[in-house]
Chain A
Amino acid sequence: MARRKFATLKSFLDYIGIEGDRTIFTWVSASEGERFANVIKGVTAKVQALGPATKLVKEL
């Protein structure tokens, strides 16, 4: 169910123009510490490549 929810959310955010790489979904199980570190590395690299977010950001 969560998978269905986020499949549509990601697709919809991409549709309205928020880059797909800003919202990332993945699975990590409790025994996959290594994978968790890799995910964080990958995500950081992806977001780093995109630069700071400008869309939808509220100026406080």
Chain B
Amino acid sequence: MENIEKKLREEAKRLLEEKRVDALVGFEAGTLPLTATPCFITSPEEADRLVWNAFCSQNLAKYVHDLISQHHNSQKRVKPEDRKKKVVGVVARGCTTRSIVLHLQERQYGRDEVTIIGVPCEGYVDRKALTAALDGADIREGSLTGDRLDILTAEGKKEIPLQDVLADNCRTCRFNNPIIHDVMIGEPAPAMPGAVQEYAEVEEFEKLSTEERWRYFTKEMSKCIRCYACRQACPSCYCPTCFVEQTQPQWVGLGEDATDTQVFQLMRLFHMVGRCVDCGSCVSVCPMGVDLRKFLKKLDKDVFDFFGNRAGVSLDDPPPLSTFKEDDKEDFIYNP
């Protein structure tokens, strides 16, 4: 890991010095122990701030899209010949590159507007699982050595194996190495052992009765406080005006009616058909711990089962809902 970090800083410095990128999105050490926070770097001297470890949880493709679309907007009223090009660099793991591929498929920006520094990934720490493993105690100091977390809390020292606190989406991750990259740092990481049973949870849930599934859905959605953190963190959620904020027509009521929350979540989830890269950002930012992944994974499974498509794994694939084949699934069509 230290080695990767060192190479990453060198590479970032080089790209910024050669002016190959105008801004670089990466992670820096967080203000609390065992955290990392996204940072934006524009000069080579700042490259030493970059870190890469198991605490980098967000999907940085969100910021890439934000930066580039802001730049596009700022260039709208400039004459075409005077328009400036801006290149955004990003430190990207497997899921981040999948999101970028998705943006490219959806024509959000050009491949030449983004420079991808690929890094191998062996999963990140789920903050909620870590807090649960420590029984909610505050972390005073902590360090990661190999596969072991050494943590000092008010109650004393504690050792936690990294495997125990990995995020669920990382355990079953199929694409932990970058799909596309301009510069690759380090050797590709070994495949995650859980990838073969990525849909085990969904299959189990499918076996429940309709009533049980509905009860689970309503229970999970009753936790939701509609802070929209999931939407803010999601790299696939980039509409300039989200349907929840639209007033003409008003799609979803803004009150505390339970069905409005359910409809909001249902529709946000459904917007992820064939677009969810399972980066776990929505789950990790959710302050109420809503089990969104169970539903997102189902959409992913359906798209793979019906159309044989996985989100953001190839630049040549069109988005699954914008194309069709003659022999697509049609057993759901009602025939009187």
Q: Which A residues contact B (CB, under 8 angstroms)? A: 1, 3-12, 14-19, 24-27, 35, 38-39, 41-43, 55-59
Contact between A43 and B307 (Cβ–Cβ < 8 Å)? no
Contact between A12 and B333 (Cβ–Cβ < 8 Å)? no
1/0 contact string of B305-336 vs chain A (CB within 8 Å): 01100000000000011111000111011111
Contact between A4 and B215 (Cβ–Cβ < 8 Å)? no
User: Inside 8 A of B245's CB, which chain A residues have their CB?
Assistant: none
Contact flag A26-B206 (CB < 8 Å), given A5-B321, A9-B270: no
Contact between A19 and B210 (Cβ–Cβ < 8 Å)? yes
Contact flag A15-B298 (CB < 8 Å), given A26-B335, A39-B336: yes
User: B253 near A: Cβ within 8 Å?
Assistant: yes
Instruction: Please name the residue on chain B nearest to A14 by beta carbon.
Output: B210
User: Inside 8 A of B214's CB, which chain A residues have their CB?
Assistant: 16-18, 55
Min Cβ gap A22→B in Å is 11
Contact flag A1-B324 (CB < 8 Å), given A15-B295, A15-B298, A58-B253: yes
Q: Which B residues contact A (CB, under 8 angstroms)? A: 205-206, 210-217, 253, 257, 259-260, 262-263, 266, 269-270, 273-274, 295, 298-299, 302-303, 306-307, 320-324, 328-330, 332-336
Contact flag A6-B334 (CB < 8 Å), given A1-B322, A15-B298: no
Give Cα distance in the complex from A25 to B259, angstroms.
24
Instruction: Please name the residue on chain B nearest to A16 by beta carbon.
Output: B217
* Seed contacts A1-B321, A58-B257; 14 additional CB < 8 Å A-B pairs: A3-B329, A4-B306, A4-B328, A5-B273, A7-B302, A8-B270, A12-B273, A15-B295, A16-B295, A17-B211, A17-B212, A24-B334, A25-B334, A38-B336
Contact between A56 and B334 (Cβ–Cβ < 8 Å)? no
Most chain A beta-carbon neighbours within 10 Å: one of B253, B329, B336: B336
Could you say which of A17, A39, A43 contacts B213, with CB atoms under 8 Å apart?
A: A17
Give me 24 A-to-B residue pairs in the complex whose CB atoms sit less than 8 angstroms apart, sorted by A's number. A1-B321, A1-B322, A3-B324, A4-B307, A4-B321, A5-B273, A6-B332, A7-B330, A8-B273, A8-B299, A11-B332, A12-B298, A15-B213, A15-B295, A17-B213, A17-B214, A17-B217, A18-B214, A26-B333, A39-B334, A42-B336, A43-B334, A56-B263, A56-B266
Contact flag A16-B213 (CB < 8 Å), given A4-B321, A5-B321, A58-B253: yes
Give Cα distance in the complex from A38 to B336, angstroms.
6
Chain B: interface secondary structure? helix
User: Inside 8 A of B322's CB, which chain A residues have their CB?
Assistant: 1
Give Cα distance in the complex from A3 to B334, angstroms.
12
Min Cβ gap A28→B in Å is 10
Could you say which of A1, A7, A10, A26 contacts B323, with CB atoms under 8 Å apart?
A: A1
Give Cα distance in the complex from A9 to B212, angstroms.
19
Give Cα distance in the complex from A41 to B334, angstroms.
12
Give Cα distance in the complex from A17 to B216, angstroms.
9
Min Cβ gap B233→A in Å is 21
Instruction: Please name the residue on chain B nearest to A11 by beta carbon.
Output: B302
Give Cα distance in the complex from A21 to B257, angstroms.
25
Give Cα distance in the complex from A26 to B323, angstroms.
20
Contact between B260 and A58 (Cβ–Cβ < 8 Å)? yes
Give Cα distance in the complex from A5 to B321, angstroms.
6
Give Cα distance in the complex from A5 to B336, angstroms.
22
- The 9 lowest CB-CB distance pairs between A and B, nearest first, are A17-B214, A17-B213, A42-B336, A38-B336, A26-B334, A16-B217, A58-B259, A24-B334, A8-B273
Contact between A8 and B306 (Cβ–Cβ < 8 Å)? yes
User: Inside 8 A of B298's CB, which chain A residues have their CB?
Assistant: 11-12, 15
Contact flag A27-B295 (CB < 8 Å), given A4-B328, A12-B302: no
